[in-house]
Amino acid sequence: MTALAVRLRFARTGYGKVGLAGSLLLLALIAVGPLLAPYDPSAIAGLPLQHASRQFPLGTDGLGRDVLSRVLWGGRSIVGLSVLATSLAYAAGASIGLLAGYTKSILDPLLMRAMDVLLAVPPLLFLLVLATGAGRSIPVLVLGVATVHVPSIARIVRASTQEVATHGYVEAAVARGERLPALLGREILPNVLGTVLADAGIRLTASILILASVNFLGLGLQPPAADWALMISENRGGIALNSLAVAAPALLIAFLTISVNLVADAVARSLGTSTDRKRVAR
């Protein structure tokens, strides 16, 4: 399917347009939000847990910080870290999947058994153990979330690679004496990108949800960082006094995941696949 055909099919998908519009709106908010924030996100601007007012449109949190300012700053961490973790996961998972799917040696079962072991560990348990042993830093958090996705990505890419490897153009490349890196990069990888793209949106959504869960539990970003999930955790005790301090970041996380999911499903259908049966988690 040509790129033009994919774009045309995507354009005819109503929920794809809605998801794309929602995603672009949130990205714009995340990009320019810090410039619009009336206060420093870490500054104590008023009394704790004030209701919404002209001075504080979303009220204040438990420490007296402006909720609106923290909301406008808080999307950068969850989106940026999710994109970074997902990208690292695809770099590692796709490499493993390509090698395992093309080589017909003992490397395939060895790699897949290692992936099965990682796949059997619950994501949050893995991240809890990792944070306990390696510390609660951003690099550890990103690498941990990326590692959670690697087994699933490797299995998907491996299955697609095994199918593509039987085609005549791959056999012709082997006959020409193409080296393995060139063979995988030029002949096989471009022909499995459709499957990767169909899975990427769902995987990004999973990264957002995992990072939100980890930050909510206090295993990821630490106060006073402005992060939507961390805001929910910090302010849940005062929800009766200022519910907006919890509702605003929670709704933004929900809006973000729904928008990305709609775009992912529209792209998958445009490529001739569907994410209906995919799991958001692992």
Longest dimension (CA), the chain: 74
Residue 277 lies in a domain: no
Q: What percent of the chain has pLDDT over 70?
A: 91
Residue 282 lies in a domain: no
Q: What is the pLDDT of residue 192?
A: 87
Residue 280 lies in a domain: no
Q: Which residue has the higher pLDDT, 233 or 15?
A: 233
Q: Model confidence over 186-222: pLDDT tens digits? A: 778 888 888 888 788 889 999 999 999 999 988 888 8
Residue 281 lies in a domain: no
Q: What is the CATH number of the domain that holds 176?
A: 1.10.3720.10
Query: Does 2 have pLDDT greater than 70?
Result: no
Residue 117 lies in a domain: yes
Band of residue 277 on the pLDDT scale cut at 50, 70, 90? very low
Q: Where in the sequence is the domain holding 195, given as residue range(s)?
A: 3-270
Q: How many domains does the chain have?
A: 1
Mean pLDDT of the chain: 86
Q: Model confidence over 229-275: pLDDT tens digits? A: 999 999 999 999 999 999 999 999 999 999 998 888 887 777 665 44
